[in-house]
Amino acid sequence: MARPWLLPFGLVVLLASVAQAAIVEHTFNVGNLSISQLCQTARIITAVNGQLPGPTIRAREGDTVVVHLVNHSPYNMTLHWHGVFQRGTPWADGPAMVTQCPVKPGANYTYRFNVKGQEGTLWWHAHISFLRATVYGALVIQPRSGANAYPFPSKPQREETIILGEWWNANVYDLERMAYLTGMPAAHADAYTINGKPGDFYNCSGANQTYKFQVHQNERILLRIINAALNTPMFFKVANHSFTVVGADAAYTTPYETDVVVIAPGQTVDALMVAGAAVGRYYVAASPYDSAIPRGPMISKTTGTAILEYVGSAGNQAPVLPPMPAYTDTHTAFRFFSNLTALILPGFPTVPLSVDHHMFVTIGLGVSDCQPDQFFCNKSTTVFSSSMNNASFVLPKSVSMLQAHYRNTPAGVYTRDFPDTPPVIFDYTADASDNATMQYTTKSTKVRTLKYNETMEMVLQNTRLIAKESHPMHLHGFNFFVLAQGFGNYDHATAVNKFNLVNPQERNTIAVPTGGWAVIRFVANNPGMWFMHCHFDAHMDLGLGMVFEVQDGPTAETSVPRPPADLPQC
């Protein structure tokens, strides 16, 4: 039986050809912004157009987006359109040294791409150093024919974008340099923020440091929630309200009822919320989920807040605070992450049922020899390092990987030997398995090459080397389907029975369960160089990444095009 909300959607698809694709054009001036936050009065941060968060890009499915990046900042810069497939425009993806050299201070670059076949909430951020801490914003894609075409059980009357972030009192560029030079992870954030503001529970919080939005009683609101934090998965609640999740990572989900949203860095969640509580004021709250075992000291156990204000409430009424899950609540995180399924709709892709290649990839922390330019480096010093299958990823320095791929001159830039399995099979997740030999990784720039249109199935297996942790693994250039996930060591014989091959959730970022595994599938229908990495910047920096090199297909449309004339050179 057709679900009733599918019918209007089908009609809308017929009408879609009438609505013209538009060009959505922005100029992003990246530069210094002086702001007051926590107890600092004139902190200089790097920001787009003097705003934190930066501007929201609003487009409709099929539109072309053009963003002129003008770099007035003192830092090298690139921008990434997180979750946009970039089909036919791999030069616009943005990760520094993967698809482009950085835009130098004083220089410009224009990003041009389309948002075909994608609807929902995505976002954009700097993809160099830790600069995305303050250089980020929302990218909202409505259906071609507008908000009436949402395939939701009930239509929202308004929308609100909620971007969760982290705030550092220190300069994040310097933090990243220090983390690299000392080989130690960077310190944790000083506050969690909602739409750039920390809220009422921090020192020096004042009227200006809390984000507020208003609703009418009984209004239906679509919350577009984005986790832009560098290193922290979040629990998200609104006091006395609950949600119907209808999308994640710009893919529609079967409506899922919950009073808590769990969202890892890089992920987005679209949730309907009815303003059905008494006229009043309510806290919107984001608190950390610390998945590391054993736990490090690397987390601020505070809560970032905004205020939801009903029209007609007294402005001085103290808001109600929701009870938040404990910061160690893996059960709540897993329940949320594993209960989402896709909403099957005509015109959207479904999970591929045959597979060309399988990979089994360990992800986690380890150690490596220090690099010659690091402090106190001598032969016997090891530093923290993270890896996939014990290959700890480093970015090339002289030319981007996509340029080397396009010219077919990988020598000295990358090698095509990323392994499909870990070097040794061991007990990945037991506490006793933190073994010194397996901790050791080597630095390299390895890719896994795929032919155009091949299907990859990948098991991501977390390890207990140093600590187990829920790593948010992000893939550029594609969505993948999440077939199954669980705790402990992956066992194919039992896991395969749990594969969802009917309506698995589609994502661009998966929070692999702590000390556990996830199975994903994607079709390599997009030629280019596509970064896969942990969306904790602290881990990506230490090497938790690799690149898929997808070869050209048979036609010009399925091949990497010539680079744009203004592509920055190193």
DSSP, residue by residue, 250-309: TEEEEEEEES-EEE-TT-EEEEEEE--S-SSEEEEEEEE----BS--S------EEEEEE
Residue 211 has phi, psi (to 5 degrees) of: -80, 135
> What is the amino acid identity at position 304?
G
Could you tell me how many residues of this chain bind ligand C2O (CB under 6 A)?
A: 11
Please pick, from the candidates 28, 202, 531, 536, the single residue that binds ligand C2O as defined by CB under 6 A: 531
Distance CA 66, CA 78 (A): 15
Window contacting ligand C2O (CB under 6 A); options: 17-25, 140-148, 199-207, 530-538: 530-538
515 belongs to the binding site for ligand C2O (CB under 6 A) = no
Please pick, from the candidates 26, 87, 125, 237, the single residue that binds ligand C2O as defined by CB under 6 A: 125
- Interface mask (CB under 6 A) for ligand C2O, residues 57-86, using x and -? -----------------------x-x----
Please pick, from the candidates 95, 185, 396, 543, the single residue that binds ligand C2O as defined by CB under 6 A: 95
What does the block give as tokens for 236?
């998200």
Residues 486/490/492/494 CA torsion (nearest 10 deg): -50
Distance CA 477, CA 456 (A): 14
- Burial classification of residue 409, based on how many CB atoms lie within 10 Å of its CB (0-12 exposed, 13-18 middle, 19 or more buried): exposed
Window contacting ligand C2O (CB under 6 A); options: 213-221, 230-238, 305-313, 528-536: 528-536
Distance CA 61, CA 120 (A): 9
Nearer to ligand C2O, 136 or 236 (CB): 136
Q: How far is the CB of 514 from ligand C2O (least distance, A)?
A: 21
471 belongs to the binding site for ligand C2O (CB under 6 A) = no
Window contacting ligand C2O (CB under 6 A); options: 41-49, 109-117, 343-351, 531-539: 531-539
User: Considering only residues 237-276, where is the footprint of ligand C2O by CB under 6 A?
Assistant: 266
Window contacting ligand C2O (CB under 6 A); options: 139-147, 338-346, 381-389, 529-537: 529-537
Q: How far is the CB of 535 from ligand C2O (least distance, A)?
A: 6
DSSP, residue by residue, 71-122: E-SSS-B-EEEET---TT-GGGS--BTTTBPPBPTT-EEEEEEE-TT--EEE
Nearer to ligand C2O, 128 or 524 (CB): 128
Residue with tokens 């997180």: 82
Window contacting ligand C2O (CB under 6 A); options: 47-55, 66-74, 309-317, 527-535: 527-535
102 belongs to the binding site for ligand C2O (CB under 6 A) = no
Q: How far is the CB of 505 from ligand C2O (least distance, A)?
A: 18
Q: How far is the CB of 541 from ligand C2O (least distance, A)?
A: 12
State the DSSP code for 433: G
127 belongs to the binding site for ligand C2O (CB under 6 A) = yes
Q: How far is the CB of 100 from ligand C2O (least distance, A)?
A: 13
Is 288 within 8 Å of 300 (Cβ atoms)?
Answer: yes
Nearer to ligand C2O, 228 or 523 (CB): 228
Please pick, from the candidates 224, 446, 474, 539, the single residue that binds ligand C2O as defined by CB under 6 A: 474
Q: By beta-carbon distance, which residue lies closest to ligand C2O?
A: 82
Nearer to ligand C2O, 80 or 87 (CB): 80
Nearer to ligand C2O, 422 or 477 (CB): 477
533 belongs to the binding site for ligand C2O (CB under 6 A) = yes
Closest CA to 489 of 435, 552, 425: 425
Q: How far is the CB of 230 from ligand C2O (least distance, A)?
A: 11
Task: Kindly list the strands in the beta sheet with 136-142, ordered across the sheet, starting from the edge strand earlier in the chain.
Answer: 57-60, 136-142, 120-126, 79-82
Please pick, from the candidates 476, 507, 521, 539, the single residue that binds ligand C2O as defined by CB under 6 A: 476
- Burial classification of residue 339, based on how many CB atoms lie within 10 Å of its CB (0-12 exposed, 13-18 middle, 19 or more buried): middle
Q: How far is the CB of 17 from ligand C2O (least distance, A)?
A: 32
Nearer to ligand C2O, 127 or 464 (CB): 127
User: Cα 148–154–156 angle (5° rounding)?
Assistant: 60
Q: How far is the CB of 57 from ligand C2O (least distance, A)?
A: 15
Nearer to ligand C2O, 130 or 310 (CB): 130
- 103-125 burial, b at 16+ Cβ within 10 Å, e below that, comes to beeeeebbbebbbbebbbbbbbb
Distance CA 209, CA 485 (A): 39
Q: How far is the CB of 95 from ligand C2O (least distance, A)?
A: 5
Is 142 within 8 Å of 61 (Cβ atoms)?
Answer: yes
State the DSSP code for 32: E
Closest CA to 251 of 264, 235, 265, 270: 270
566 Cβ partners below 8 Å, 6+ apart?
108, 109, 110
Nearer to ligand C2O, 282 or 536 (CB): 536
Give the chain's length.
570
User: Considering only residues 341-400, where is the footprint of ligand C2O by CB under 6 A?
Assistant: none
User: Considering only residues 151-210, where is the footprint of ligand C2O by CB under 6 A?
Assistant: none
- The site for ligand C2O (CB under 6 A) is made up of 80, 82, 95, 125, 127, 266, 474, 476, 531, 533, 535
